[in-house]
Amino acid sequence: MFSTEAIPPELSDTSPPGPVRDDWIRRTSPDGPPPRMTVAVYAADPVLRVGVVQQLRHRPEVDLAGAGAMDSARVSLVVADTVDDDVAALLGRLRHNSATRTGLVIGTLGAGGLQRVIECGVAAVLRRAEADQDQLLRLVLATGNGEGMLPGDLLGELLNHVGSLRRSALDPGALSLSTLTTREADMLRLVSEGLDTAEIARKTSYSERTVKNVLHEVITRLQLHNRAHAVGYALRNGLI
């Protein structure tokens, strides 16, 4: 369960309580300072939430949203250890809120984690180990302005994924990694290493039910008999 409690007065800024004002863009003149970005912070762990709030509360570029204004904040900042089913559900809900854009501060991203957060509409990601005050502010501003922000290694992973999709579009009949989604390939690779459903779920931060559904979809789509058959097929055709 993600905390939506009001930010304590000692951690909030000096803005009056109540809904986020809809004139945030009009609050300054063209020659004045830039408008303040309204930010709602979500974290299952209240300690994580307070830590992020403390980092941002004195920044003049930021207004921290209280409990009554979370859904109308310009930026929704989600802070988590991993992208588990609860985090994915929250990201999915925020994706359908047209009033906000979502940024993610994450401890670790398991196999297929980047694809999962992108599917949830997140384009700005920061690792918790790198989340000092300046980097958090950069993440907030990038998110609010609709810009992407990814660590270098995740950017490389994204480019590789986009490249595989492009190759698939140019030559749909070719067998390549793009025959499987990143998540499917990652799970089959773990099956080939001897991991069972529970171990794959822990490795990938998915639920056991999701792991079973993904592997069942691969087996059904490729008209195979079982997981061992799927692994053999993928290895023979260079898919993992």
pLDDT tens for 50-95 read 999 999 998 999 999 988 889 999 999 999 998 888 898 899 899 9
What local confidence, expressed as pLDDT, does residue 60 receive? 92
- Cβ(79)–Cβ(50) under 8 Å? no
Q: Residue 162 pLDDT > 70, yes or no? A: no
- Cβ(62)–Cβ(137) under 8 Å? yes
- Cβ(20)–Cβ(74) under 8 Å? yes
Count CA atoms within 13 Å of residue 121 on its CB side: 20
For the chain, where are the E strands, in sequence order?
Answer: 37-43, 62-64, 75-80, 101-106, 124-127
Neighbours of 18 (CB within 10 A): 9
Question: In terms of Cα–Cα distance, which of 230, 235, 206, 205 is closest to 217?
Answer: 230
Count CA atoms within 13 Å of residue 89 on its CB side: 8
3-state class of 46 per DSSP?
Answer: helix
Question: In terms of Cα–Cα distance, which of 76, 164, 78, 75 is closest to 115?
Answer: 164
Q: Residue 10 pLDDT > 70, yes or no? A: no
Decide which of 209 and 169 is more confident. 209
Question: In terms of Cα–Cα distance, which of 73, 71, 102 is closest to 88?
Answer: 102
Distance CA 117, CA 104 (A): 9
For residue 17, CA distances in Å to 73, 222, 228 come to 13, 56, 58
- Cβ(64)–Cβ(39) under 8 Å? yes
Distance CA 119, CA 160 (A): 16
Mean pLDDT, residues 180-202 taken together: 90
Q: Residue 212 pLDDT > 60, yes or no? A: yes
Strand order in the sheet with 37-43: 62-64, 37-43, 75-80, 101-106, 124-127
| Cα radius of gyration (the chain) | 21
